């Protein structure tokens, strides 16, 4: 297919007549009832895709393939190097398990529209749980296993689930992480109390179960009756995925059923250039959007085999882990975050481990989650000698906004650029007044409404907060990223222009960290920023001002702050550094000069704002930032 299609034709059609474009794409999905209208724009800036349509996403991901001859193909290959496990689960087997687990949930009273939280490690049961919810039309909310009880409690309060599904433990690198105590603690902290939990007991560590509340997965599955697919509206919610905003309250990105299925299936062919039956590996986690879209839904909707890898790029056991998985399972496409490749490069700069494996099946490496720095791009493409494709997207969009679409018309790659807007996304660079900026100049990367199918129709029970995305510049969705188009129309994403940061491909909120630090009894105020770092892309660093009269050892206080962030958000926040300073730079009206501080932290040029109250404070911050960078 690649080579015969013209990107410009496809892209233009998607923008000038989105209803015709996506109506055609939707023919690939099995509908219980076809839509009345492809695109409903009667409630701008809220849009609906495939309005009047009815389907079941789980049916499309499993039953359909079993009915059409794919039953004996592996749906999942579970590869867990530290537990020495490789397990193939066919579409037949997965359908059987999902239908039975849906029966378990149904028996517990879960029905269409109910919410279920899933807090699980990278094991196949996580996919079973997700798909069982989809089968019943229940709304799942997967919470990343690396989040601490406090973060889980925040999500329990917001999603209000009656049932939570979890496991006794996760394997994180070489560590065994007990999940159940974290879940118990979260339920204790949460105001909303779920009625029941289902716990998958792993052989590495058994969890204590509370009678009457906690149910053992294996036990309840033994007697489960299979449940059928429940038909839902295309616009009904499939899931909620909480993601970091600029405050401590995460945003519950809502995903619908119909538009998501259509967009994901389309993306497998036209962006990833993969074929049904091939092995697709997204080396991420089910707790992130990449996991939702490209470990679970897209590969299964498209009839691929998906890999559930419970390991790391390095240390499980060595930097050849990815090559081993590709060779052993015949992976066609690998999708991961640049940080994984930086980690491999650091441990195996000459790619000696690669020489031990035959990875000829690998056609493409796709990278996303953070900026792909040119060094890592050159290293990966020089070593693998296949297209290394940077693509840009967000939890909110659910699938790529910009990419080099390998199934349409592959363009020459420019290091540092995710190439061009994906069909469906009308990307423009705007200035502060919402005016279009000429190519070559940096501004706010924005998407002209409507967003294509698959993107967030709104935030979970929070239309008001959703409106913040689409009313700042009327008619546009503001992505929060800064960037520019070059003279050839290639898009460059230069980083967030708000207080969201990306640490090792994990999206985190500096605002959330500030709220935690501010709770310390000795802290008057603080600010946290992302500081560029070689391996993880960014790491958070803090600047804290002590309350008047506090005379304690600053190192002790910093240790306490680090521990507080670790306890409240999780180790994944990687908050390890904080400077105690005499003041934060402010304007005369008392606003912290955050963008100036952000520039100082990353040693960028800055202009001293004319509104500054005391310019000497900037020197204090500069010195402190230099020290933090040297210690990192
Ligand atoms: N459960 C519990 N703890 C977790 C966790 C999980 N699922 N994931 C991470 N953590 C912990 C780690 O154990 C570590 O704890 P520590 O401070 O006690 O050592 C901490 O969170 C930081 O983890 P991480 O950022 O992953 O750093 P690392 O040094 O362990 O590994 C990389 C670095 C680059 C190898 C790793 O981050 C990686 O593989 N990144 C790929 C990113 C990715 O898949 N992103 C998803 C979007 S595509
Ligand atoms: P998340 O919602 O976790 O997927 O994080 C989304 C954010 O990650 C984006 O807003 C970007 O800041 C960043 N990001 C993701 N992919 C890329 C990419 N290919 N290039 C640059 N930044 C990226």
Looking up residue 227, the CATH number of its domain turns out to be: 3.40.50.12780
Dihedral angle over CA of 152, 158, 161, 166, nearest 10: -10
Per-residue 3-state assignment (H helix, E strand, C coil) for 123-154: CHHHHHHHHHHHHHCCEEEECCCCCCHHHHHH
Residue 455 falls within a domain, yes or no?
Answer: yes
Ligand 2 pocket test: which of 295, 336, 369, 399 has the largest number of ligand atoms within 8 Å of its C-beta?
369
Residue 318 falls within a domain, yes or no?
Answer: no
pLDDT band at 589 (very low <50, low <70, confident <90, very high): confident
Q: Which of 103-107, 577-581, 587-591 has the lowest mean pLDDT?
A: 587-591
Ligand 2 pocket test: which of 337, 371, 416, 490 has the largest number of ligand atoms within 8 Å of its C-beta?
371
Is any atom of ligand 1 closer than 6 Å to the C-beta of 572? yes
Is any atom of ligand 1 closer than 6 Å to the C-beta of 571? yes
User: pLDDT tens-digit profile of 114-162?
Assistant: 999 999 999 999 999 999 999 999 999 999 999 999 999 999 999 999 9
- State mean pLDDT over 340-361: 97
Q: Which residues pair with 306 in a beta bridge?
A: 76, 280
Ligand nearest to the CA of 575: 1
Tell me which residues have their CB closer than 6 angstroms to ligand 2. Answer: 243, 289, 368-372, 390-395, 418, 479-481, 493, 496, 502, 507
Number of domains the chain is built from: 2
Q: Which residues pair with 240 in a beta bridge?
A: 254
How many angstroms is it from 620 CA to the middle of ligand 1?
32
Residues 478 and 547 in one domain: no
- State mean pLDDT over 182-198: 98
Ligand 1 pocket test: which of 571, 573, 574, 576 has the largest number of ligand atoms within 8 Å of its C-beta?
571
Residue 537 falls within a domain, yes or no?
Answer: yes
Ligand nearest to the CA of 503: 1
Is any atom of ligand 1 closer than 6 Å to the C-beta of 446? no
Query: What is the dihedral sign for C-alpha 462, 466, 467, 472?
Result: positive
User: pLDDT tens-digit profile of 301-335?
Assistant: 999 999 999 999 999 999 999 999 999 999 999 99
DSSP state of 356: G
Residues 539 and 428 in one domain: no
Residues 22 and 156 in one domain: yes
Residue 179, classed as helix, strand or coil, is: coil
How many angstroms is it from 366 CA to the middle of ligand 2?
13
* Residue 486 to residue 254: CA distance in whole angstroms: 33
- State mean pLDDT over 165-170: 98
- State mean pLDDT over 343-367: 97
Beta-carbon contacts of residue 161 (< 8 Å; ≥ 6 apart): 114, 115, 116, 117, 141, 192, 194
Residues 411 and 536 in one domain: no
pLDDT on residue 484: 97
Tell whether the model's pLDDT for residue 103 goes beyond 50.
yes
Residue 206 falls within a domain, yes or no?
Answer: yes
How many angstroms is it from 106 CA to the middle of ligand 2?
37
- State mean pLDDT over 545-563: 96
Ligand nearest to the CA of 151: 1
Look at residues 159, 87, 156 and name the one whose alpha carbon lies nearest to residue 128. 87
Q: Is the Cβ–Cβ distance between 347 and 319 less than 8 Å?
A: yes
- Could you identify the atom of ligand 2 that is nearest to the CA of residue 418? 19
Say how many Å lie between the first and final Cα of the chain, rounded: 47
How many angstroms is it from 613 CA to the middle of ligand 2?
35
Q: Burial code of 166-201, b = ≥16 C-beta within 10 A, e = fewer?
A: bbbbbbbeeeebbbbebbbebbebbeeebebbbbbb
Which of 423, 456, 484 represents a domain boundary (last residue)? 484
Percent of the chain at pLDDT > 70 equals 100
Per DSSP, the residues of 197-258 read EEEE-BTTBPPP--TTTEEEHHHHHHTPPP-PPPPEETTSEEEEEEE--SSSS-EEEEEESH
Residues 475 and 561 in one domain: no
Atom 13 (ligand 1) nearest CA: 172
pLDDT on residue 3: 53
Atom 30 (ligand 1) nearest CA: 173
Residue 349 falls within a domain, yes or no?
Answer: no
Residues 416 and 539 in one domain: no
Is any atom of ligand 1 closer than 6 Å to the C-beta of 415? no
Look at residues 276, 250, 330, 303 and name the one whose alpha carbon lies nearest to residue 63. 303
Domain of residue 619 covers 504-631
How many angstroms is it from 89 CA to the middle of ligand 1?
27
- State mean pLDDT over 37-53: 98
Tell whether the model's pLDDT for residue 1 goes beyond 50.
no
For the record, the structure tokens of 598 come out as: 């952000």
Atom 19 (ligand 2) nearest CA: 392
Residues 614 and 468 in one domain: no
Residue 12 falls within a domain, yes or no?
Answer: yes
Residues 627 and 529 in one domain: yes
Q: Is the Cβ–Cβ distance between 377 and 353 less than 8 Å?
A: no
pTM: 0.95
* Residue 91 to residue 63: CA distance in whole angstroms: 8
How many angstroms is it from 496 CA to the middle of ligand 2?
8
Residues 257 and 162 in one domain: yes
pLDDT band at 245 (very low <50, low <70, confident <90, very high): confident
pLDDT on residue 346: 95
Q: Which of 27-36, 145-154, 242-251 has the lowest mean pLDDT?
A: 242-251
Residue 330 falls within a domain, yes or no?
Answer: no
Task: Report the Cα 369 to chain-centroid distance in Å.
Answer: 7
Residues 125 and 221 in one domain: yes
Atom 4 (ligand 2) nearest CA: 394
ω into 169 cis (within 30 of 0): no
pLDDT on residue 632: 84
Whichever domain contains 554, its CATH number is 3.30.300.30
Atom 22 (ligand 1) nearest CA: 572
Residues 475 and 557 in one domain: no
Is any atom of ligand 1 closer than 6 Å to the C-beta of 303? no
pLDDT on residue 483: 96
Atom 14 (ligand 2) nearest CA: 370
Residues 439 and 527 in one domain: no
How many angstroms is it from 83 CA to the middle of ligand 1?
18
Look at residues 128, 198, 188 and name the one whose alpha carbon lies nearest to residue 162. 198
- Could you identify the atom of ligand 2 that is nearest to the CA of residue 391? 19
Residue 379 falls within a domain, yes or no?
Answer: no
Which of 433, 450, 484 represents a domain boundary (last residue)? 484
Is any atom of ligand 1 closer than 6 Å to the C-beta of 340? yes
Which of 484, 513, 541 represents a domain boundary (last residue)? 484
Atom 20 (ligand 2) nearest CA: 371
């Amino acid at each position: 297919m690649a080579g015969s299609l013209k990107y410009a034709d496809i892209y233009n059609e998607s923008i000038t007549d989105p209803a015709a474009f996506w109506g055609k794409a939707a023919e690939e999905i099995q509908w219980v009832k076809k839509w009345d209208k492809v695109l409903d724009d009667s409630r701008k800036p809220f849009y609906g895709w495939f309005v009047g349509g009815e389907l079941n996403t789980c049916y499309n991901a499993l039953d359909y393939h079993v009915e059409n001859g794919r039953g004996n193909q592996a749906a999942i290959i579970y590869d867990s190097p530290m537990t020495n496990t490789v397990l193939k689960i066919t579409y037949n087997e997965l359908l059987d398990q999902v239908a039975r687990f849906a029966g378990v949930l149904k028996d517990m009273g879960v029905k269409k529209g109910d919410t279920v939280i899933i807090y699980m490690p990278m094991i196949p049961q996580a996919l079973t749980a997700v798909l069982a919810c989809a089968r019943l039309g229940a709304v799942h909310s997967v919470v990343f296993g690396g989040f601490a009880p406090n973060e889980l409690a925040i999500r329990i309060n917001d999603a209000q689930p009656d049932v939570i599904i979890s496991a006794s433990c996760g394997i994180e690198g070489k560590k065994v992480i007990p999940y159940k105590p974290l879940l118990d603690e979260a339920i204790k902290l949460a105001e909303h109390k779920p009625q029941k939990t289902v716990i998958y007991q792993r052989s590495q560590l058994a969890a204590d179960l509370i009678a009457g509340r906690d149910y053992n997965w294996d036990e309840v599955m033994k007697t489960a009756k299979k449940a059928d697919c429940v038909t839902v509206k295309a616009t009904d919610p499939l899931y909620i995925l909480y993601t970091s905003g600029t405050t401590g309250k995460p945003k519950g990105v809502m995903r619908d059923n119909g538009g998501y299925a259509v967009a994901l299936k389309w993306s497998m062919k036209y962006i990833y250039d993969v074929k049904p039956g091939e092995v697709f590996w997204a080396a991420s986690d089910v707790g992130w959007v990449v996991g939702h879209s490209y470990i679970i839904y897209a590969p299964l909707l498209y009839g691929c085999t998906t890999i559930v890898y419970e390991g790391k790029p390095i240390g499980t056991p060595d930097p050849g882990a990815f090559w081993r998985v590709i060779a052993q399972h015949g992976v066609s496409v690998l999708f991961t975050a640049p940080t994984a490749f930086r980690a491999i490069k650091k441990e195996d700069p000459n790619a000696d481990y690669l020489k031990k494996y035959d990875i000829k099946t690998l056609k493409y490496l796709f990278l996303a989650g953070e900026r792909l720095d040119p060094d890592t791009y050159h290293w990966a493409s020089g070593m693998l000698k296949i297209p290394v494709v940077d693509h840009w997207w967000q939890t909110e969009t659910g699938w790529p906004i910009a990419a080099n679409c390998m199934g349409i018309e592959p363009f020459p790659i420019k290091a540092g650029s995710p190439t061009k807007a994906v069909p469906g996304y009308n990307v423009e660079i705007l200035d502060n007044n919402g005016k279009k900026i000429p190519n070559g100049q940096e501004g706010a990367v924005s998407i002209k409404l409507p967003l294509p199918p698959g993107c967030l129709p709104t935030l979970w029970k929070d239309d008001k907060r959703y409106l913040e995305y689409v009313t700042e510049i009327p008619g546009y969705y503001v992505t929060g990223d800064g960037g520019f188009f070059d003279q050839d129309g290639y898009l460059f994403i230069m980083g967030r222009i708000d207080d969201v940061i990306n640490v090792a491909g994990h999206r985190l909120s500096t605002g959330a960290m500030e709220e935690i630090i501010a709770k310390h009894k000795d802290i008057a105020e603080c600010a946290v920023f992302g500081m560029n770092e070689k391996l993880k892309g960014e790491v958070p660093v803090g600047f804290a001002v002590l309350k008047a009269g506090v005379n304690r050892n600053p190192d002790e206080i910093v240790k306490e702050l680090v521990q507080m962030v670790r306890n409240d958000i999780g180790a994944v926040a990687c908050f390890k550094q904080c400077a105690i300073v005499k003041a934060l730079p402010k304007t005369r009206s008392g606003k912290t000069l955050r963008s100036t501080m952000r520039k100082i932290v990353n040693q960028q040029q800055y202009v001293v704002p004319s509104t500054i109250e005391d310019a000497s404070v900037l020197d204090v911050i500069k010195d402190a930032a230099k020290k933090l960078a040297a210690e990192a």
